[in-house]
Structures are given as structure tokens and as C-alpha cells.
Structure 1
Amino acid sequence: MKKQFLLPILFIAVLVTVLGVIWAISYGTNPVTPTEPAIPVEPSKPEVPSDEPAKPDTPTQACIFYVPHPDDEVLNMGAAIIEAQKHFDPVILVLLTKGTASATLNVVSEKLSLQGLAPLTRDELGESRLMDIRESAANLGIKPYNIYLNDLPDGQVSSEDVKDIILSFEAMYPRALHQTMTWDDTHPDHRAAGTALRELQVTDSVADARYIVFLLHWDQHPDASITAITSNEDKAKYEAALNAYHVWNPEEGRYSVGILSTKTAFDFAAGHKETHWIKLEQ
């Protein structure tokens, strides 16, 4: 009877021993470390609008040039515009007129007739000059969205109209540096722009202003400050801006109005590459 129970007992003992060895191999020498639960990540919170807008680490000041006609931005203001981009942000060009009163219309029409083409209209002249100033401004480094175009009557610009324009930009860019031609310039549109800015500065409607001397009249302001282009990179920009006014391509609506209207000024600008400017106290 004892023999009948011995075999099952031995079998069970062997089975237990085998299972114990298997467990020791699988788990005994390599105990399982329980995985720590992941730390939940808090969802990012939306930014709460502030009553006071964030300020940049380095405060910036806008610089705004009021350009009476296409080509003034390079002939008279070009060196100052290039230099301004190193110190101000944004730098903005505000064109006051399209320059449609230019006497060059007849000269252009004569050249077109020699090519068997129809004469130019005043409106076409204006659109051509807008293409010129866009290319010139881009070569000076001005972004397209910082160019503003007005269509005040060429040759009949009023200082009151210019005041309204200046004040609108002062509202957008408080304490900006405003620049335009001098109030004693011989051209009526240049003079109107300078008079407008001067009157606003005298009444403290604008905080900072400079007045740019027409390049062929530098001798009238011998004490003017001078911004000169000196680096090869800046010279290349300036020359490219001048060349925008040399383009003759009637198929594209380009008629080299600038160089045909005032070659003397273009030659002088190319040789000097300067902007002369005064402040109110000069």
C-alpha cells in the first residue's frame, strides 16, 4: 500500500522542484522592477491677453520719409534711407504725388513716336513712375509693405494735406523720426512738405524731424549735416536705385522718366552719394 502512494508523492516532489528551478531562472536572478507611473504633463495654458503689450528688449523707433515725387527718394534721400535702416525699425516711404506734371511727358512721347508707338498719357506717365519708385525703393532696402502711395496734385501740393498725412503716421508710430524736404526749397511741392513738417514740429505735434536739402542747392545750407555712403555694399544699393530710373521698356510701361527729366541731378547724385539735412535749430 505504501508503494502505491510513493510514486505519486515522488512525482509531485519532482514537479515542484522543476517548477522552482524554472521560477528561479526566470525571476530569481532578474527581479522585475515595477514601472513607475508616468508623471502627467499639464496642458499648456493659452496666453492671457495683457492690458500692456509686450515690449521688445531694445525699443525701436520708426523713421518715415515723405517723398514729394518719384526719384526724390534716391536723389535727395537715398543715403539717409540706407543709413536709417541701420538704426530705425520700420523705415517707411510715403510718396506724396505720382509726379504726373513732369514736362518729360512730351520728351517721352517723341521717343515713342520714333518707334512707331502711341504718345503717353498723364495717367500712363504716373503709373510708369510708380513702377520706378517701387524698384528704386526695393533696391534701397525698403520692404514693399512699408511703401505708401498718395496721389496729391503734382505741382499743387498743399501743406495742410501733407500735415494730415504726417499726423496719420505719427498716430500709427508715436515719436517717429519724420523726414522730408526743407521748407525753403524752390520747388513748391518740396516746400509744402517741409512747411507742413516744420509747423507740426513747432507746435509739438511731432517730436523729431529732419529736413533734407535738395542736392543741387547744398550751397544754401553749408552747415547742414551730411550722411554719406561709404561701403561698397551700400554704394551698390544706391547705384541700383538710381538705375531704376534709367529703364526704357515701353512694352513693360517703363519710360526712363527720371533720367530724361533731370539728368543733371542724376549725374550729380551718382558722383556724390550723400544726403544733406538740417534740423529745425540749424
Structure 2
Amino acid sequence: MVCFGAFFAHYQAQGDTPKPQEKKKGPDPVVYFVPHADDEVLTYAVDIRNAIYNGHPVYLVLFSEGEHSIAREVVNGRFDASSVHAERAGERVFCKWHKTYHDTRRTPSLYGHLSLKEFGKVRVDDFYRSGEALGVPKENIFTYSIPNGGFTEHNVRPIIEHFLKQFPDAEFRTMSKADVHPDHAKIGEVLEKMEQENLIRPSKTRYFISIFTDRFSHRPLPVKTDLMHLEDPLDEYYVLESIEVYKTYQPAEGLYGTGYHSVPDQFESLIQAVYTRYYDEWQPLNRQTAPHQPPKHPPGQPVQEDPTKTDPTETEAPPSGK
């Protein structure tokens, strides 16, 4: 008995007694707040691929179905009573991508003349397919139904709070409050306000300048920004695959090229130069000592108005994930 006790004490002293293994914590999740379907590609794609490359679980949160995008009228070929400009009902809408007037009465189409509800569903379907093309699992994709043009703190904040509660250690990405699109800017404004209320650590946030604001608007930015490129050049494959989702036009199968019927120049600009612009901390520019450089865009491309921008509406929808 004495010998056995000495034997046990010897091995215990040597540290051979089995100990429960501690579970190693992986990289923090990264949650992207996406205003409209196609923003995940045009503005976030580079960062999404870099996050995945570095092992982060990625989640996409779509705030709006974007049913009021001008792309619906372009695909239908005319305005109708549900259009933002209902007073133009019956007026034809030219497709600058296909250089023609579409006509759903003559072209085989799964939905025929797309209603707002049907078009919203088409955009959400594209969002899911685009997210998966970028490498984000479908179960990590969430959608909400705030009307585009109707983003307010009242309907934006509960969504952010929900995901902050679900993923308290996550990093959060969204658009800058300096963005020219009011929907984009509102999410950034609310997230920054929550930082100031000490609900989110500033080290856990990142703000992006949309591709339209950066490359096409020519509006000077009031904040210092950095450029981001793909850490793995081979990841360009995923970016191009996600772009293809928004370019595929097969209306008989319910695929309407929603992105290219809205902002084809922005997609082509991303193909020509795969990068994005962002900042982690709001650092105002001193214009006397550091004038902002004019936004860059591919030579020969004219400055354009943002076709996705709609008239603001007072309509609000309670946040309800799907």
C-alpha cells in the first residue's frame, strides 16, 4: 500500500494526471449590416473575403428588401401605380444595360409584370445567392424588411441591438455616416451613436464608404480613409462569382439581373479595380493641411446620380428577421 502511494505521488508530481482540456477560442465573428441587396458585393466583398481568409465566421444582415429600386421599373419596362413616381405610370423606362425597352408582356417571365412584393423577393433571393457565392453559409444570412428610403433610428437600432446581444464578442461592419445614400448613412450614424453610449467598443467597428460615394459621387469626404485590397489574390474568384449573381438575366427562371439593371457602372468599376475604402475611427480631415483627394473612378466613366436612391418615406416597418 505504501509503495502504491509513493508511485501515485510520483506521477502526480510529474504532471501526468489528466487535466480537462480548455477549449480554444477561435477568431471573433464579423457581422455585416447591409442596407440593400448588392451592397454586400459592391462595398463589402473585399472585407468579407479577407475575414473568411483569416478564419472569422461571417454573418450578413440585410436591412431592406429594396422593393422600390428603379431596377423594378427597368425590368418591367415602364412605371406603374406602385412606383415612387406613380404620376408617371405607363411611361416607358429605358434599359441602359441592354440598350432597349423591356416588355414583360412579350418576354417569358416567371412573375410577369413584377409587383413590389415579387421584386422584393427576387432581390432577397439574389442576396442569399450572392452571400453563398462569397462563401457565407445560408444559415449565417438574415433579412429584414425596412422600406428603402425609410431608415430611421427607430427601426435600425433594434436590429443592431439584437445582433449585439447574439454576438457580444463580434466585430461589426457597416456604411459610414458620411455616405451620400441616406439609408447607408443612417446605419453608420446609429452604430456610431451606440459606440458613444459605450454599448459597442470602437475597436470592434469598421465603417465603409460605398462604391458610389467613393468612385462616382465626387463628394469630398470629411474623414480620413484607407484602401483595402484582397489579402489572397485568388479570392477575386469569389468576388466575380457574386457579381455574376446580379448580372444573370434569365427572367423565365426568375433571375432578373437586379444589380446590373440598377447600377451596371458600379459593378463594372469593381471588376476593373477590386478594392474598397473604409475607416476604423472617425478622424476629420484638416482641409488646410490635408485636402481630400478627388474620389477615383475608372477613366471615361461619367459621374452619375445614384439610381438606387429613392424619395424618403415616413413608412416604418418593425424589425422582424426572416
Q: Same fold (TM over 0.5)?
A: yes
Question: Match for 1:152 among 125, 146, 153?
Answer: 146
SS for the counterpart of 1:64 is strand
- Give the alignment of 1:52-91 within 5 angstroms: 56-87=23-54, 89-91=56-58
Cα shift at 1:202: 1.3
Is residue 193 of structure 1 aligned with residue 187 of structure 2? yes
Q: Is the 8 A contact 1:79 1:273 kept in 2?
A: yes
SS for the counterpart of 1:161 is helix
SS for the counterpart of 1:123 is helix
C-alpha distance in 1 between matches for 2:158 and 2:147? 15
Q: Decide which structure has greater helix share.
A: 1
C-alpha distance in 1 between matches for 2:132 and 2:246? 13
Number of aligned residues: 229
What amino acid is the match of 2:107? Q
C-alpha distance in 2 between matches for 1:59 and 1:81? 17
C-alpha distance in 2 between matches for 1:60 and 1:216? 31
What is the Cα-based RMSD across aligned positions, in Å?
1.8
C-alpha distance in 1 between matches for 2:208 and 2:67? 22
- Give the alignment of 1:1-282 within 5 angstroms: 56-87=23-54, 89-110=56-77, 111=102, 112-115=104-107, 118-207=112-201, 208-218=204-214, 220-221=220-221, 223-229=224-230, 231-282=232-283
Which ranges of structure 1 fall in alignment gaps of 5 or more residues? 1-53
Q: Is the 8 A contact 1:247 1:256 kept in 2?
A: yes
What amino acid is the match of 2:279? I
Shift of the 159–55 alpha-carbon distance from structure 1 to 2, 3 Å rule, reads farther
Cα shift at 1:250: 1.8
The Cα offsets for residues 11-38 of structure 1, whole Å up to 9 and x where unpaired, read as xxxxxxxxxxxxxxxxxxxxxxxxxxxx
C-alpha distance in 1 between matches for 2:22 and 2:206? 27
The Cα offsets for residues 165-215 of structure 1, whole Å up to 9 and x where unpaired, read as 111111111131111110111111101111111111111111221111011
The Cα offsets for residues 66-104 of structure 1, whole Å up to 9 and x where unpaired, read as 000000000011001111113353210000001101012
C-alpha distance in 2 between matches for 1:59 and 1:229? 22
Q: Is the 8 A contact 1:62 1:88 kept in 2?
A: no
SS for the counterpart of 1:229 is coil
C-alpha distance in 2 between matches for 1:160 and 1:138? 30
Q: Is the 8 A contact 1:67 1:180 kept in 2?
A: yes
- Larger RCO, structure (CA 8 Å, separation 6 or more): 2
C-alpha distance in 1 between matches for 2:153 and 2:40? 19
Q: Is the 8 A contact 1:70 1:98 kept in 2?
A: yes
Aligned position for 2:15: none
Which ranges of structure 2 fall in alignment gaps of 5 or more residues? 1-20, 78-101, 284-322
Aligned position for 1:7: none
C-alpha distance in 1 between matches for 2:171 and 2:43? 17
TM-score normalised to the size of structure 1?
0.76
Task: Name whichever of 164-173 and 72-81 sits farther off.
Answer: 164-173
C-alpha distance in 2 between matches for 1:170 and 1:79? 23
